[in-house]
Structure 1
């Protein structure tokens, strides 16, 4: 593993397996420290290759050493499709990860797929507010948003994170915790997403970037590109935890244009 200086802790791996191993260890350590400190571990997932990487947690030693019963699992983004649809982030996570460990079913909070995307977003925000009320989720002292122990994000080749796309009006939301979009640049068009204030309130945020097609966006997201650069063109650049830690996990191909100063 190599590291670089930039916006956050930048970890660069020679192989996919090395990345998966380090990510599993990172998540397991956060889980242990959160459970010890608060009694819970609150984690928000996204989709894509991130879920397959979490498969390492289903293996020894983590399948036995992680206190899965203390996990509360939510989604930082979801597609407005049925839970058994191939595009569902919930289905991907359940099939590849959640069904293989002993996380309690009532600690997994998927989005209501029987409602319109707008109503589902409103209900999901209400669900999160109930978890705050129950003190499962703590609250940021900076902006009163929910403070997840860990939010896991994949960055797209256009620099988007969650369902927050370049120059999209959703990037400007300040009060909402959850919003919906109907015009995703990738199918399906209707999606639910955490807003930037919620992402930036987390204690820990991981951004995953793999593949040569992400290299340009990685450079624009983490390097010094000048004060005049419009960060909304690369939403990943707007990930800046206000009282937390940002860690990038990437392979050599995605990191090939990184020019951070040592």
Structure 2
């Protein structure tokens, strides 16, 4: 019988934000190397918030094979692609515009800006992007990303999966829409748990004292059921937390020395 139970999270705590950025870059490069050697491509999903800035360790790093990256967005705000609230625009400003040559444009998968007025059609179209990338190559029930990089909000939300929302129980769709986000903008699309929990690797990134209480609840009290606590990739997937010392002050969950 195949073991599909989730593996225990691995918690890496770094003395400073700068050391976190360096460690995260090393981790991503190892995941990239393994994926490219195995499949010839590296499938990555990004979230917004502070995450793109925390990928600065990849800029000017000759080991990054940008031409092998296939980038999706774990959630996206339903706004034009050049809007200040767009996760795509944020990642371009903070990362992709700073690397040359970068990821080929056709390998960065954005929402369709012509469908912003129809949330269901917008989510369906993005799900079809995933199907083209994964189902045709891997024949899997759900996409298996090489790496999904996530942040966490003060309320424990991740992607656009918010506490108490009906999307927390979605089991079939790969991409769903939300039109009543408690955090603006209200209209978004998001990966669902089946996608997050089928990834080969999921890495949360959090820094700063403002994350102390949330991390304590998510890691030490998972029974509280905050959305981030529900991200638990099934075997053989792995879950990692990259946090700095300031964010980890209240966490009792055992730390793992960072070593690749």
SS at match of 1:114: helix
- For structure 1, the 5+ residue unaligned runs are 1-5
Structure 2: which 5+ runs fail to align?
1-6, 256-260
Q: Which has the higher contact order (CA 8 A, sep 6+)?
A: 2
Within 2, Cα distance between the matches of 1:248 and 1:139?
29
Contact 2:135 2:143 in 1 (8 A): no
Cα pair 2:43 2:71 within 8 Å, conserved: yes
Partner residue, 1:238:
230
TM-score (norm 2): 0.89
1:119-142 Cα shifts (integer Å, max 9, x gaps): 21110001111112441xx355xx
Alignment partner of 1:159 is 2:152:
no
Q: Which residue of 1 aligns with 2:121?
A: 119
1:249 to 201, 226, 242: 242
1:160-239 matched pairs, under 5 angstroms: 160-223=157-220, 225=221, 229-231=223-225, 234-239=226-231
Normalised TM-score (structure 1): 0.89
Deviations 1:80-112 (A, max 9, x none): 011111010000111221223321111110111
SS at match of 2:51: helix
1:85 paired residue number? 83
Helix, strand or coil at the partner of 1:184: coil
Match of 2:65 among 64, 67, 84: 67
Residue 118 of structure 1, CA deviation: 2.2
- How far residue 212 of structure 1 moved from its aligned partner, in angstroms, is 2.2
- What RMSD in Å do the two structures reach over aligned CA positions? 1.6
TM superposition outliers: structure 1 runs of 4+ over 3 Å? none
